[in-house]
Amino acid sequence: RSVGADRIVNAVGAYVKWGVGARQAAPLLVIDFGTATTFDVVTTQGDFIGGAIAPGLKTINEALAEKCAQLPLVPLELPKKVIGRTTVDAIRSGVFWGYVSLVEGMIVRFKKFLKSKVVHSTTHSFCTSPKMNSFKTSSKKFHTLHNN
């Protein structure tokens, strides 16, 4: 069995920052917004118990343009509306809000599996960008671990 070093470093860093002592009343869900989006759980005792890996936002956007001959690569920006009236606006909305739904859905599934609330910890510079403001608002409070 193997786990990437990046996932272990993120889990240890999150536990050291938020999990040591009585401050952590719930498991940590460490979410890394990179090329891949990783979701990893650290128990209140500091044990890494595993997680999930999904494509990152940029990866989803690039794959759509690469695999769909008629669809262009669209710059990642917060969509003005959920319903796009042009192809570019529709891609922007689908990629962004689809990704937000992926992350929010995974958080819900982790909470159900753990039968617990979780403390969210995010990593990667993308989580502090304006692109994520709407996501952070809709997903409650996130703690940023570090910016790459």
Per residue in 105-142, pLDDT (tens digit) is 999 999 999 988 887 777 665 555 555 554 544 444 45
Burial track 28-60 (b if 16+ CB lie within 10 A, e otherwise): bbbbbbbeebbbbbbbeeeebeebeeeebbeeb
* Known active-site residue 89: no
Q: Which of 6, 32, 47, 89 is catalytic?
A: 6
pLDDT at 14: 83
Instruction: Using the predicted structure, report yes or no on whether residue 22 has a pLDDT greater than 80.
Output: no
Per residue in 48-94, pLDDT (tens digit) is 999 999 999 999 999 999 999 999 999 988 898 999 999 999 999 99
Q: What is the mean pLDDT of residues 4-10?
A: 89
Confidence category of residue 16, pLDDT binned at 50, 70, 90: confident
